[in-house]
Amino acid sequence: MSSYNQIAGQNLDRIAALSDGIFAVAMTLLVLDLHAPAAELIHNNHDLRTALVTLVPKLGLFIMSFITLGIFWVGQQTQLNYLAKSDRDLSWLHLLFLFFVTLMPFSTALIGAFIEYRLALLVYWANILFLGASLFLTWRCACAKQLIRSDMPDGLRHGVERRIIIAQSLYALGAAFCVINNYVSLGFIILVQLNYAIGILRKI
């Protein structure tokens, strides 16, 4: 008779469905930090224009975090597409990854409220770091336990690992720029995200 640990967590469709739901909620929660200007403070077009300009930093953070979650959603889906099956350990590693997904609205709100503080930026970067590290662990676990499909293209195993490591190294470099200026740091992180979102540098 099979033990519980041998049969638990084998359904890939359930992992994918849970992942899609959590990503959808996290992406939606990001926009809640954007608030329309208070009506009592707006008396003409100039007031409205000024109020909208003050929203630009938070809008930029919303876009940045939305892209971040989009990149990691694509990364996880790519892994799931090449899994032949799952098991209990791999399922819990994906749950760990999704835990850090749920923290993204908080880290985004924190840096939005305290964008001038280095600690807030480092918390945001740590969120990205843990997302990448947990996604790396899910892939390593799947490969080590031979849960990967037999028709996986040659080189994909190491290609996935290389992509995550390079991305996290670039994010770390971006975070280090906070020593110079938080806005410089965030600008660099955005450039990294744009690269991975639209493939400016195809081989990275």
Write out pLDDT tens, residues 49-78. 877 787 788 888 889 999 999 999 999 999
Q: Considering only residues 1 and 78, tell me which one the structure prediction assigns the higher pLDDT.
A: 78
- C-alpha closest to that of 9 among 151, 130, 161, 147: 147
pLDDT exceeds cutoff 70 at 23: yes
Cα–Cα distance for residue pair 19/27, rounded to 1 Å: 12
pLDDT band at 10; cut points 50, 70, 90: low
170 inside domain:
yes
Q: Give the residue numbers spanning the domain of 179.
A: 9-198
pLDDT digits (tens, 9 = 90+) for 11-22: 788 899 999 999
Residue pair 104/68 in contact (Cβ under 8 Å)? The answer is yes
Percentage of residues of the chain with pLDDT beyond 90: 53
Tokens at 91, concatenated: 């399922």
3 inside domain:
no
pLDDT exceeds cutoff 90 at 37: no
28 inside domain:
yes
Residue pair 6/85 in contact (Cβ under 8 Å)? The answer is no
Q: Give pLDDT, residue 148.
A: 87
How many domains in the chain?
1
pLDDT exceeds cutoff 70 at 200: no
144 inside domain:
yes
Q: Considering only residues 41 and 29, tell me which one the structure prediction assigns the higher pLDDT.
A: 29
CB atoms within 10 A of CB 22: 18
Mean pLDDT of 193-199: 83
73 inside domain:
yes
204 inside domain:
no
Q: Give pLDDT, residue 54.
A: 77
CA angle, 138 then 93 then 64, to 5°: 75
90 inside domain:
yes
Cα–Cα distance for residue pair 196/204, rounded to 1 Å: 8
Q: Give pLDDT, residue 156.
A: 82
Average pLDDT, the chain: 87
Cα–Cα distance for residue pair 143/157, rounded to 1 Å: 8
169 inside domain:
yes
Q: Give pLDDT, residue 1.
A: 42
pLDDT digits (tens, 9 = 90+) for 104-124: 999 999 998 898 899 999 999
pLDDT exceeds cutoff 60 at 5: no
Distance separating the N- and C-terminal Cα atoms of the chain: 47
Mean pLDDT of 137-141: 95
